[in-house]
Chains A and B, each alone.
Chain A
Amino acid sequence: MKTVRIGYLTRVEGKAELDLTIDGEEVKDLKLKIYEEPRFFEALLIGRSFEEAVELTSRICGICYVTHQLSSVRAVEKVLGVEVNDRIRLLRRLIAIGGIISSHCLHLYLLALPDVLGLPDVFTADPKLLVKALRLKAVGDKLVELIGGRGVHPVSIVVGGFTYTPPKDKLMELAQSLKEAKKTAVESVPLFSADKFPKFEVDCERVALSNPEEYAINEGRVKSNKGLDISEDEFRAFIEETQVPHSTAKHSKVKGRGSYMVGPLSRVNLNFSQLSDDAREAAEASGFKFPSSNPFAANMARLLEVISLIDEALELIDAYREGPVRVPFQVKGGSAGAITEAPRGMNYHWYSIGDDGLIKAADISPPTCQNARRVEDDLREYVPTIAHLSEKEIASRCAMLIRAYDPCISCAVHSIEVKVKKL
């Protein structure tokens, strides 16, 4: 029996710890404990105006604020019966792309890369590599800022569209940086290729939005590799949430089945053919074969998305024409939900709004809540394969697997401490 303890799981957003007890190859006990302080967003929205939902739910997460704003705005618009125009949809897709590039690069280069390089952080990595990587991240940041009016917690997204028309010439200027950034992304394929990560395959349900028209981000049907195929309105009929005593993040599962994975790997697995040519070529070179059942392939999936979404951003900027970006609407009560793909996976927002425009109830299921149980199940299968290693090594491998999900714990609750105990 071995007992290992790591302080605070670092290089993830938020606070959590892992409790693990192993007897031989058998996992006796395993709990991903999320001790992030709860913030009660669903409660503090009550009595607020429908217009404030976008602004307030953005504060659920300081990394994936864009997706929270977009799920929120779409859900509220469904309640009110607002139909936005194609220009608004284009800009929403473009800002979502900016958000995903920014978040994925933060994860890949600052949080995950140290594992590959065997360093505690990237601060001591080659400054040349660091500057290039951060320039790549900066184009995502800039895209969000140009459309959203601010980098973190953008301000221009409102019910009915945007408060201002982003200037086409500014976006065109950014196109040049996007092209440079794409080179860095393509060059990074060897950093996150299959030979850098454990060979660990696990069969599980992988769920993502899917849309025949485009690589699904802001709209699509909820599909999985196990035959799930439902509309976003049916989300709660098929996905249930439970509270577990060891976590302030609620756990999700597909009703009648079990835990499931959301995020870049689920998306790439399900919608691989819709990635850009260069992204699919990069996949060939990566050593991973998609669809992949190795959870560590999520890092490569992130990089493929960065490449593909830069290609798409360039097309969208080209197609964009300035013009009206706000449609009129009338306030009316009702309830509706919407899902967008956050960098970490499906992000569900549902609101009930009164005829006075005030929010009566809210239900929010960010991706890390949905992944929480799956991470535990993955670890249960993974730990026996590494049980022969030292406690320190087991802890570090487990941390790496948790990190591959890029958990966003503030989101889930609306650090991870790893404690490994070998019996």
Chain B
Amino acid sequence: MKLKVGVFKFTSCSGCQVELIRMNEQLPELLNLVEFKYWAMASSKLEDGPYDLALVEGAISTPECIEEVKAIREKSRVLVALGDCAVTGGVPSIRNWMSQREAETIVYPKPGCIRSTRVYGIDEYVKVDYYLKGCPPRLENILEVFKAVILGVKPRLRQHPVCVECKFYENECLLTTYKQPCMGPVTAAGCGAICPNVGRVCEGCYGPMSDPNIASMVERLKEIGLSDDEILRKFRKYAGMSKLYREVAKL
């Protein structure tokens, strides 16, 4: 029996689905094990559940999204938040820190026709079994979830900070050595430390690790000269609505 999979999209850029499609020539192999029952971006065949695995991309930002995500939950055995927007609201949630009317008026001349609410991750409304962090989550991590669900085991997703992976690559520490505002120490790993590998600081696109020392991170950023506003912007970028970062965001 092939695993019955549904891929769904809410408020997002589709980049997580595109990352999944980046499996490229491995796709036919995956198709031996899974059947995509619902994946609107890739197929005109849209079959109703039940699904063994639902991958949900995107944040929830309209009343319609709330009803839809609840319906998907009811039809799905394992439900996975695919990427930052689904995990915490991601980049679109930056607007939660300004008034809704202000955001609408800046973009649309007639905001009256626009229906949207504050932006949250899907677990604000439904139970989530696994979280694939990242903007986007790395393909290897997405495939790890497929493998785990097929085998009926828990996926191994990294809980430690990016620093651990960064050390594997023997990079010099951008924060302590070069006094650059690297978010690596509080950010969940899984990316393979790609930013330090190409000489730039971690921007925190995987959101918080399991137990980050946020107070110490904030202290360190102040020490190297960041203003309170700059620090706030760092924490309010990819995961500003995560429970761990909402505290800093009140600074």
Cross-chain contact B14 with A163 (CB below 8 angstroms) = no
B153 on the interface (CB 8 Å rule)?
A: no
Query: How far in angstroms is the closest Cβ of chain B from A225?
Result: 30
| Contact partner, A123, options B31, B95, B200, B233, Cβ 8 Å | B31
Cross-chain contact B200 with A156 (CB below 8 angstroms) = yes
| Contact partner, B136, options A49, A152, A158, Cβ 8 Å | A152
Cross-chain contact B62 with A37 (CB below 8 angstroms) = yes
B248 on the interface (CB 8 Å rule)?
A: no
Cross-chain contact A13 with B41 (CB below 8 angstroms) = yes
B165 on the interface (CB 8 Å rule)?
A: no
Across-interface contacts of A110 in B (CB, < 8 A): 21, 42
Interface segment among A39-47, A207-215, A316-324, A385-393: the answer is A39-47
| Number of residues on chain A facing chain B (CB within 8 A) | 63
Contact with B along A91-104 (1 / 0, CB 8 A): 00000000000000
Cross-chain contact A141 with B24 (CB below 8 angstroms) = yes
Cross-chain contact A151 with B19 (CB below 8 angstroms) = yes
Query: How far in angstroms is the closest Cβ of chain A from B220?
Result: 19
Contact with B along A80-115 (1 / 0, CB 8 A): 000000000000000000000000001000110010
Across-interface contacts of B39 in A (CB, < 8 A): 121
Cross-chain contact A11 with B25 (CB below 8 angstroms) = no
B109 on the interface (CB 8 Å rule)?
A: yes
A235 on the interface (CB 8 Å rule)?
A: no
B215 on the interface (CB 8 Å rule)?
A: no
Cross-chain contact A121 with B24 (CB below 8 angstroms) = no
Across-interface contacts of A290 in B (CB, < 8 A): none
Cross-chain contact A59 with B15 (CB below 8 angstroms) = yes
Query: How far in angstroms is the closest Cβ of chain B from A298?
Result: 19
Across-interface contacts of A163 in B (CB, < 8 A): 198-200
A44 — nearest CB in chain B belongs to which residue? Answer: B94
From 228 to 251 in chain B, residues with beta carbon under 8 angstroms from any chain A beta carbon are: 230, 233, 237
Query: How far in angstroms is the closest Cβ of chain A from B34?
Result: 10
| Number of residues on chain B facing chain A (CB within 8 A) | 63
Across-interface contacts of B43 in A (CB, < 8 A): 10-11, 114, 120-121, 123
What is the bound-complex CA distance between A59 and B12, given in angstroms?
Answer: 8
A77 on the interface (CB 8 Å rule)?
A: no
B176 on the interface (CB 8 Å rule)?
A: no
Cross-chain contact A248 with B91 (CB below 8 angstroms) = no
Cross-chain contact A120 with B44 (CB below 8 angstroms) = yes
A330 on the interface (CB 8 Å rule)?
A: no
Query: How far in angstroms is the closest Cβ of chain B from A262?
Result: 20
Cross-chain contact B103 with A410 (CB below 8 angstroms) = no
Across-interface contacts of A63 in B (CB, < 8 A): 14-15, 18
Interface segment among A131-139, A185-193, A263-271: the answer is A131-139
A59 — nearest CB in chain B belongs to which residue? Answer: B91
Cross-chain contact B12 with A410 (CB below 8 angstroms) = yes
Contact with A along B105-145 (1 / 0, CB 8 A): 01111100110100000000000000000011001000000
Across-interface contacts of B3 in A (CB, < 8 A): none
Across-interface contacts of A46 in B (CB, < 8 A): 98, 106
Residue contacts A-B, CB under 8 angstroms, 15 given:
A11-B44, A40-B92, A52-B237, A59-B91, A62-B12, A63-B14, A111-B42, A123-B31, A131-B25, A152-B19, A153-B15, A164-B198, A245-B110, A250-B108, A415-B9
A-side residues, CB < 8 A to B, are 7-8, 10-15, 37-44, 46-49, 52, 55-56, 59-63, 65, 106, 110-111, 114, 120-123, 127, 130-131, 134-135, 137-138, 141, 149-153, 155-156, 158, 163-164, 242-243, 245, 248, 250, 410, 414-415
